[in-house]
């Protein structure tokens, strides 16, 4: 009996490399849900639905998006962390998550412990805009802030969001004291700056182009390492005098820790196929969005680096989650 058991075990081990692709081919056998821990209509929701639509056909089963906002993305993220590690629950995440690793120390999960990196999706830079009549350049905005510390303010879509971190990092690196005014979403923040009740904000380039062109806000700069083709006349923040400054919002997909590697690898390949498609690249370029392509291991290393970088800014600028 013992000899037969050993032989059976050896046979199973010998077949393991053959079982790995078989597992990936058998998955999915039912609908896969993508939990978006943000409200409907934002970038994470929009691009999760974009992916779901394009993954459903080739993989033979539907992908559905489930919005679970709340507590700075903690509610939905915790739900995803507690889901089965079988490839049927995924998390659409962003750099809000890497910031939360420092901002929210008592959250019920740890990103790199409770999740497996699958694939990045895309990245977009921000526009720095000011209310009309305040400033026409980054230098003028900084000068006004330094002349009256604590009197200016900047809006964001909420504590810990990429737009909040972008604004806080700008103030920190520019050496200015400015009040943060958090809103319950980008829509409310945009209404406030157009109405002149807040002074400046970092926001989506594609959303603010029309406001800049209509004169509802003043475009001061973009946040990337080089000028943005949609706003080529605006300097980067770094060009405008805050040397080395960059900020962005990026999105990615993770799965609960323990999700089988063959499923993770197949998901990575399928997501990369979608983001590399010429029609995707062309459509996203018109939105000032660039695809990101990495293996699961490369994405994991990227996340570790971003967690460290966010921690440096958050601690240096003394950013709080509320």
* pLDDT tens profile 164-220: 999 999 999 999 999 999 988 888 999 999 999 999 999 999 889 999 999 999 999
Q: Which helix (H) or strand (E) segment is 130 a member of?
A: strand 115-131
Give the pLDDT score at 21.
56
Residue 162 has pLDDT above 50, yes or no: yes
Give the pLDDT score at 235.
98
Residue 18 has pLDDT above 50, yes or no: no
Give the pLDDT score at 40.
85
Give first-to-last CA distance, the chain, whole Å.
Answer: 64
Name the residue ranges covered by the structural domains of the chain: 2-124+250-316, 125-222
Phi then psi dihedrals of residue 115, to 5 deg: -135, 155
Give the pLDDT score at 5.
46
Q: Which helix (H) or strand (E) segment is 89 a member of?
A: strand 89-94
Give the pLDDT score at 2.
47
Pull the structure tokens for residue 42. Answer: 């934002």
Contact 214, 126 (CB under 8 A): no
Mean per-residue pLDDT, 73-96: 97
Give the pLDDT score at 24.
56
Mean per-residue pLDDT, 133-147: 98
Considering the domain delimited by 125-222, tell me its CATH architecture.
Answer: 3-Layer(aba) Sandwich (3.40)
Per the DSSP assignment, residues forming a β-bridge with 32 are 63
Can 2-124+250-316 and 125-222 be said to share one CATH topology? yes
Question: Right CATH number for 2-124+250-316 from 3.40.350.10, 1.10.540.10, 3.40.190.150, 1.10.150.120?
Answer: 3.40.190.150
Give the pLDDT score at 71.
87
Phi then psi dihedrals of residue 121, to 5 deg: -115, -65
Give the pLDDT score at 7.
47
Neighbours of 224 (CB within 10 A): 21
Pull the structure tokens for residue 310. Answer: 């966010």
Give the pLDDT score at 149.
96
Q: How far from the centroid of its chain's Cα atoms is residue 128's Cα?
A: 18
pTM: 0.84
Contact 49, 41 (CB under 8 A): no
Contact 126, 156 (CB under 8 A): no
- Determine the Cα–Cα distance for residues 130 and 220; give it in Å rounded to an integer: 7
| Cβ neighbours for 158, distance < 8 A, ≥ 6 positions apart | 72, 164, 182, 183, 184, 185
Give the pLDDT score at 25.
65
Give the pLDDT score at 318.
85
């Amino acid at each position: 009996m013992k000899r037969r058991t050993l032989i059976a075990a050896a046979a199973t081990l010998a077949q393991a490399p053959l079982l790995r692709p078989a597992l990936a081919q058998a998955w999915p056998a039912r609908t896969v849900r993508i939990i978006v821990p943000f409200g409907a209509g934002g970038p994470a929701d929009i691009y999760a639905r974009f992916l779901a639509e394009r993954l459903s056909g080739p993989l033979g089963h539907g992908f559905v998006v489930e919005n679970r906002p709340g507590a700075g993305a903690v509610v939905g993220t915790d739900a995803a962390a507690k889901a089965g590690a079988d490839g049927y629950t995924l998390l659409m995440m962003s750099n809000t998550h890497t910031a939360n690793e420092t901002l929210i120390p008592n959250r019920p999960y740890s990103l790199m412990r409770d999740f497996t990196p699958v694939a990045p999706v895309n990245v977009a830079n921000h526009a720095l805009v000011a209310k009309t009549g305040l400033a026409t350049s980054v230098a003028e905005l900084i000068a006004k802030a330094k002349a009256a510390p604590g009197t200016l303010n900047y809006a964001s879509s909420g504590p810990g969001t990429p737009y909040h971190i972008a604004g806080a990092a700008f103030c920190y690196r520019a050496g200015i004291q400015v009040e943060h005014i958090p809103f319950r979403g980008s829509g409310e923040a945009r209404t406030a700056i157009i109405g002149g009740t807040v002074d400046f904000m970092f926001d989506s380039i594609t959303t603010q182009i029309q406001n800049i062109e209509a004169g509802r806000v003043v475009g001061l700069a973009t946040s990337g390492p080089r000028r943005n083709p949609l706003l080529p006349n605006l300097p980067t923040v770094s060009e405008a005098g805050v040397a080395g400054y960059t900020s962005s919002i990026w999105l990615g997909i993770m799965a609960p820790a323990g999700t089988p590697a063959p499923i993770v690898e197949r998901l990575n390949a399928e997501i990369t196929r979608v983001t590399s498609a010429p029609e995707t690249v062309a459509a996203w370029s018109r939105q000032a969005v660039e695809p990101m392509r990495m293996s699961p291991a490369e994405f994991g290393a990227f996340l570790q680096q971003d967690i460290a970088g966010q921690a440096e800014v958050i601690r240096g600028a003394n950013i709080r989650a509320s």
